[in-house]
Amino acid sequence: MKRSAFATLKNDIPSSIVVFLVAVPLCLGIALASGAPFFSGLIAGIVGGIVIGLLSNSQLSVSGPAAGLTAVVLTSITKLGTFEIFLVAVVLAGVIQLLLGFIKAGFISNYIPGNVIKGMLTAIGIIIILKQIPHAFGYDKTYEGQLDFLQSDGNNTLSALIAPLTNIHVGVTIITIISLLILISWEKPFMKKFKVVPGALAVVVVSILLNQLFLAVAPQFAITGDHLVQVPVANSFGEFTNLFIFPDFSKINQDVIVVAFTIAIVASIETLLCIEAVDKLDPQRRNTSNNRELKAQGVGNIVSGLIGGLPITSVIVRSSANLNAGAKSKMSAILHGVLILLCTLFIPGILNMIPLGALAAVLLLTGYKLAKISIFKEMFGNGKYQWVPFMITVVAVVFTDLLTGVALGLAASILALLYGNMKNSYYFHKEDHHEGEIIKIHLSEEVSFLNKASIKRTLDHLPENTTVIIDATETKYIDYDVLELIREFNDLKAPQMNINCILSGFRPKYGIDNSHNVQSEKMDIRKFKNTTRLQNTA
């Protein structure tokens, strides 16, 4: 480890504790939702922190079991028959990711627009808030870490907000409110001397002590059972080792390979999206090598599958909590994996005393920081071609799932590009212009098929009895369809409209003759009243 990594330990140790506290219930909840053993979620968290943390060059992202893969894992285990066979698919998925890294497939993330990434982050923040509200009131019927709109209990994200109103656990609610007050106060200047201890750790300690007080003097408020973290407890090292499950490589078949490719593709896309998002949030604006990240994720999934863990991706919830806690380097992610390992080995009983309401408060604050009103104001200020895809991404991610939402946001960005290209066309109303006016259309450096619609609209709406100059002097490439359009206008439409069409600057390879007349040679281009440039937005 580089010496510079140790220089940030004063920031990374506290943040690793925060991520550790958030990660444990998420690992367990995702394992539960996936139909896998509880311990498999913790293994994935440990491997995601230590192995991937060491191999990745992302300084702030945190890897572990992902909510986006729960449906894939659940159906795959059912399809393949046993968890041991499923683990073979996890190992093979890691091999596929490793190969994707070597063939440099990480470039895919470069084609995701910034407004879509910001929309994804904002949507995740909204989802975190909506999903944690039930836990904040003690309604823990759904697992921690669930992000999809349709829930496993038959509710959806919105309908699940109603259930807690008739199932409020007073003790959990009190602890959640106190935890939120502590977290908010912890960020105030007057608490500066206490910031050596993470606010989340203070919340956990206070919540445990408060629940013990409830148990002693107010049993009706006491928090037990499903309202607490539930880590598997091993009473000996032998019992601990028995928690590990190993893949059965004798059962490799076509179904296993199909599942492996499915996991590899989904996990890789989610990882690349998360890495891109975290890099944008990084105050130091450090860039992660996407191809190296794919290799690191591949090795991580190979290791996780070999020792009984769930598939791993880089995950935005833990990464956001890591960043908000003040992490400076990947030491935070590594240490959080070490903490999960040590606490699972030595103090699972203490972890099982932590109320989920306290962790809900931590996640509520994380969600708020991802979805602040200022982000919406910023996007609206950037113009409709930015905020429309942004809002579509936000709404789509909230009401569907991460990958579907991002795909719809990307489609919206492409449509906005095409629409913007069309709106860039030069357009004249006949009544606004005098007969005999001179108009110049200056083609940009590259004119692709995306410009065809705007150019056609421009030419079709030119006033009659005018002189039009189509200047291709600066153009290096013109699409064949656009050339045909210009030829048709020059040969047929311009004479019909009594338009004097002058073609200038077209290269011989375009097969268009540059036409000049005496009048055009006397023109001073600088005195043209109307000039426009059709920009290439392809």
Please tell me the distance from the alpha carbon of residue 482 to that of residue 510, in angstroms, as a whole number. Answer: 11
Listed in sequence order, the DSSP H helices in 400-523 are 402-423, 452-460, 480-488, 494-496, 518-521
Q: Which residues contact 534 (CB under 8 A, 6 or more apart)?
A: 424, 425, 426, 441, 442, 443, 444, 447, 451, 454, 455, 458
pLDDT digits (tens, 9 = 90+) for 357-373: 998 898 898 889 889 99
pLDDT digits (tens, 9 = 90+) for 250-281: 989 999 999 999 999 989 999 998 998 898 88
Please tell me the distance from the alpha carbon of residue 422 to that of residue 113, in angstroms, as a whole number. Answer: 20
Distances (CA, A) of 416 to 377, 395, 481: 20, 17, 22
Q: What pLDDT band is residue 289 in, cutting at 50, 70 and 90? A: very high
Please tell me whether residue 244 adopts helix, strand or coil conformation: coil
Tokens, residue 73: 């894992």
Please tell me the distance from the alpha carbon of residue 445 to that of residue 534, in angstroms, as a whole number. Answer: 10
Whether 287 has a pLDDT exceeding 60, the answer reads: yes
DSSP E strands, 299-456 = 312-315, 438-443, 446-447
Q: Which residue has the higher pLDDT, 452 or 351?
A: 351
Strands 62-65 and 312-315: antiparallel
Hey, what amino acid is at 126?
A: I
Q: What angle do CA 368, 370, 371 make, to 5 degrees?
A: 65
pTM: 0.73
What are φ and ψ of residue 436, in 5° steps? 85, 5
Stretch 217-222: mean pLDDT: 94
Residue 363 near residue 321 (C-beta atoms within 8 A): yes
CATH number of 430-534: 3.30.750
Please tell me the distance from the alpha carbon of residue 162 to that of residue 159, in angstroms, as a whole number. Answer: 6
Please tell me the distance from the alpha carbon of residue 250 to that of residue 120, in angstroms, as a whole number. Answer: 41
Whether 532 has a pLDDT exceeding 60, the answer reads: no
Q: Please report the pLDDT score of residue 429 as a whole number.
A: 40
Residue 290 near residue 297 (C-beta atoms within 8 A): no
Please tell me the distance from the alpha carbon of residue 130 to that of residue 364, in angstroms, as a whole number. Answer: 9
Please report the sign of the dihedral spanned by the C-alpha atoms of residue 128, residue 132, residue 134, residue 139: positive
Q: Which residues contact 254 (CB under 8 A, 6 or more apart)?
A: none
Please tell me the distance from the alpha carbon of residue 44 to that of residue 86, in angstroms, as a whole number. Answer: 14
Find residue 150's DSSP bridge partners: 156
Q: How many helices (H) and strands (E) does the chain have?
A: 22, 8
Residues in the chain, overall count? 538
Please tell me the distance from the alpha carbon of residue 218 to that of residue 383, in angstroms, as a whole number. Answer: 56
Stretch 304-328: mean pLDDT: 93
Please tell me the distance from the alpha carbon of residue 304 to that of residue 93, in angstroms, as a whole number. Answer: 11
Please tell me the distance from the alpha carbon of residue 16 to that of residue 184, in angstroms, as a whole number. Answer: 19
Residue 500 near residue 491 (C-beta atoms within 8 A): no
Residue 22 near residue 239 (C-beta atoms within 8 A): no
Please tell me the distance from the alpha carbon of residue 411 to that of residue 405, in angstroms, as a whole number. Answer: 10
Query: How many percent of the chain have pLDDT more than 90?
Result: 39
Please report the sign of the dihedral spanned by the C-alpha atoms of residue 258, residue 262, residue 265, residue 271: negative
Listed in sequence order, the DSSP H helices in 221-315 are 237-241, 254-281, 290-306
Whether 354 has a pLDDT exceeding 80, the answer reads: yes
Whether 94 has a pLDDT exceeding 50, the answer reads: yes
Please tell me the distance from the alpha carbon of residue 174 to that of residue 468, in angstroms, as a whole number. Answer: 75
Whether 419 has a pLDDT exceeding 90, the answer reads: no
- Cβ neighbours, 10 Å, residue 79: 14
Please tell me whether residue 502 adopts helix, strand or coil conformation: strand
Q: Give the domain ranges of the chain.
A: 3-374, 430-534
Q: Which has the minimum average pLDDT: 23-27, 62-66, 142-146, 412-416?
A: 142-146
Tokens, residue 247: 């893949």
- Sheet with 467-471, edge to edge strand ranges: 500-504, 467-471, 438-443, 530-534
pLDDT digits (tens, 9 = 90+) for 170-202: 999 999 999 999 999 988 887 767 666 788 889
Q: Which residues contact 42 (CB under 8 A, 6 or more apart)?
A: 24, 27, 28, 31, 231, 232, 340, 344
Q: What is the dihedral of CA 233, 237, 240, 242, to 10 degrees?
A: -130
